[in-house]
Amino acid sequence: QLNGGATIVVLGASGDLAKKKTYPAIFKLFKNGFLPEKTHIVGYARTKMTHEEYIQRISQYIKVPDNEAAKKQLNDFLAITSYQSGQYDQDEGFQNLETYISKFETDSGFAEGNRHRIFYMALPPSVFIPVAKGIKKNTYSANSINRLVVEKPFGMDSESSDHLARELGALFSEDEIYRIDHYLGKEMVKNLMTLRFANVFFGQIWDRRNIENVQITFKEPFGTEGRGGYFDEFGIIRDVMQNHLLQVLSLIAMERPISTDAEAIRDEKVKVLRCIPPIQLEHALLGQYVGDGEKPGYLEDDSLKNKESVTPTFAALSLFIENERWEGVPFILKAGKALDQAKVEIRIQFKNVAGNLYKNTPRNELVLRVQPSEAVYVKMNNKHPGLSFQTIQSEMDLTYNRRYSEMSIPDAYEALILDVLRGDHSNFVRDDELDAAWKIFTPLLHKIDNDKIQPKPYKYGSRGPEELDQFIEKYGYDRTGSQ
Ligand code: BG6
């Protein structure tokens, strides 16, 4: 538990993100005793709501067991929350917020230096800047530690992202800004550094001499139902690849940081991103799902306005890192909505065994399953047990819910909000990282948007466009051992 006290202001408190992610995560931190001794949570949004309506709205997604102790815990949590309505572009609402927070700080007797004001912006991008301005002008306290938590989208391309960065940068220092990429809060993504740098054998083989290709896959079994309005503007590349999958890639590919300090880690991530030239359209396969007879296709989504949209809901991209460690090794990013399953995994495929004594042994693979059900496993060739000299491919398997069944894995948001309270930036995106990430994707995104590149159709619930296997094989992936 942290000393002192904190006010967490959830801006956009009536929105989906706040309800589904932010509040449940703060509740878990509260339940597990991780919030500072004295904490108050203020929801802020435009909607006028009574305290009861607000409580009803935020508790909807907080699941507690049906027993008295758990219910008490929830009530204790709700007792430290409150709601203020106000506009996003007028001073008045933020002034009221200021009055409210300072009263709480004074009444609680926080010592200076031990007061935290966390402004969590769970907001649509159109109001990022007005809200940041409103906070800075009216609700920023020089006697407190102020932190601004921002959620993607951080722009649509390099230019809009630069604009946002400049505007935010004029108001808050980089040290005060926490750009959330919730993939950085996921257990297996956080494990990447440990695996690479705390195991002598992985460190030794982590390069172009031993690795043939790397695949990072994101699959969701549902479409954009109801989110068509937002999604159509962004598409799958902006929605999950430029951020989540690229962050994972940078942790796989970066050099060893000089320490585990946030800036040391982020320095290395930026360096490796800067070694990736912009992706060319010829290294991209784009798809859009169509109905399967039962489930509607993307273009049939009621929330979608442009019924002739060519926005990709699936993409497979191949990236190359031009440095000594990785030259020539394809990093294949694949992401799609409305696919056959829910899965996020990293698959590192090693080279063929040189001078192999055995015929047709599949390549070794190291697989990190990010979700569901975290696991690390290595596919290796073993002697087929018994009176046989055949080989059999088997797994050395570390499945978390078997090996660590006693330990609970925090939700990404829970881990990240705790980092914000502790002032640890390691799992947040720095401005130069964001800039480097956009540079890789912007030319491709502009080309797709301007030339209205037609995506390949794939059926709802399928593995993606039928060209997918060929695409992956083109970048050297050998499917012999895959399953
Ligand atoms: C979000 C995207 O950032 O990540 C969504 O906007 C996507 O489209 C989500 O569904 C996936 O997150 P998770 O944690 O469910 O894998």
Pocket test for ligand 1, best of 16, 216, 237, 240 (most atoms within 8 A of CB): 240
- pLDDT of 3 above 80: no
Quote the pLDDT of residue 106.
86
Site of tokens 């031009």 = 322
Q: What's the pLDDT score for residue 482?
A: 60
Q: Could you give the maximum distance between any two Cα atoms of the chain, in Å?
A: 82
What pLDDT, on a 0 to 100 scale, did the predictor assign at position 256? 97
Q: Check if 237 has its Cβ closer than 6 Å to any atom of ligand 1.
A: no
Spatial contact of 340 and 219, defined as CB atoms under 8 Å apart = yes
Question: What ipTM was predicted for this assembly?
Answer: 0.96
Rounded mean pLDDT, 385-413? 94
Q: What is the pTM of this model?
A: 0.96
pLDDT at 1 over 60: no
Percent of the chain at pLDDT > 70 equals 99
**86 confidence band (pLDDT: 50, 70, 90):** very high
pLDDT tens digits along 102-111 = 898 888 887 7
Q: How far is the CA of 125 from the centre of ligand 1 (A)?
A: 17
Q: Which of 244, 283, 384, 446 is catalytic?
A: 244
Q: Is the CB of 240 under 6 A from ligand 1?
A: yes
Q: How far is CA 376 from the centre of its chain?
A: 19
pLDDT band at 422; cut points 50, 70, 90: very high
pLDDT at 70 over 60: yes
CA distances from 129 to 79, 98, 160, 315 (A): 31, 18, 12, 31
Residue 357, classified by CB atoms within 10 Å of its CB into exposed (0-12), middle (13-18) or buried (19+), is exposed
Each residue's pLDDT tens digit, 335-365? 999 999 999 999 999 999 999 999 889 999 9
What's the average model confidence in pLDDT over 257-284? Answer: 98
For residue 72 the two structure tokens come to 């008490």
pLDDT for res 112: 72
The predicted model gives 94-98 an average pLDDT of: 95
- pLDDT-derived band of residue 382, with 50, 70 and 90 as boundaries? very high
pLDDT at 252: 98
pLDDT digits (tens, 9 = 90+) for 207-229: 999 999 999 999 999 999 888 88
CB 317, CB 215: distance < 8 Å: no
**In the predicted model, is pLDDT for residue 483 greater than 60?**
no
Ligand 1 atom with least separation from CA of 412: 14
Stretch 113-124: mean pLDDT = 90
List own/partner pairs for 186-191 with CB under 8 A and 24 or more apart: 186/370, 186/371, 186/412, 187/374, 187/400, 187/409, 187/410, 187/415, 188/368, 188/369, 188/370, 188/371, 188/374, 188/376, 189/247, 189/248, 189/251, 189/370, 190/415, 190/427, 191/368, 191/376
**244 carries an active-site annotation:** yes
Q: Which residue's CA is the nearest one to ligand 1's atom 9?
A: 240
pLDDT tens, residue by residue, 427-471: 999 999 999 999 999 999 999 999 999 999 999 999 999 999 999
Listed residue (45, 53, 55) closest to 17, CA to CA: 45
Quick check: 279 and 437 in contact, CB under 8 A?
A: no
pLDDT digits (tens, 9 = 90+) for 129-142: 999 999 999 999 88
The letter for the amino acid at 387 is L
Q: Average pLDDT over the chain, rounded to whole? A: 94
Cα-only R_g, the chain: 24
CB 151 within 8 A of CB 17: yes
% of the chain at pLDDT higher than 90? 86
pLDDT in tens, 167-223: 999 999 999 999 999 999 999 999 999 999 999 999 999 999 999 999 999 999 999
**pLDDT of amino acid 346:** 98
Atom of ligand 1 nearest to the CA of 371: 16
Ligand 1 contact via 420 beta carbon (within 6 Å)? no
Q: Which of 182, 248, 298 to mutate to test the pocket of ligand 1 (most atoms within 8 A of CB)?
A: 182
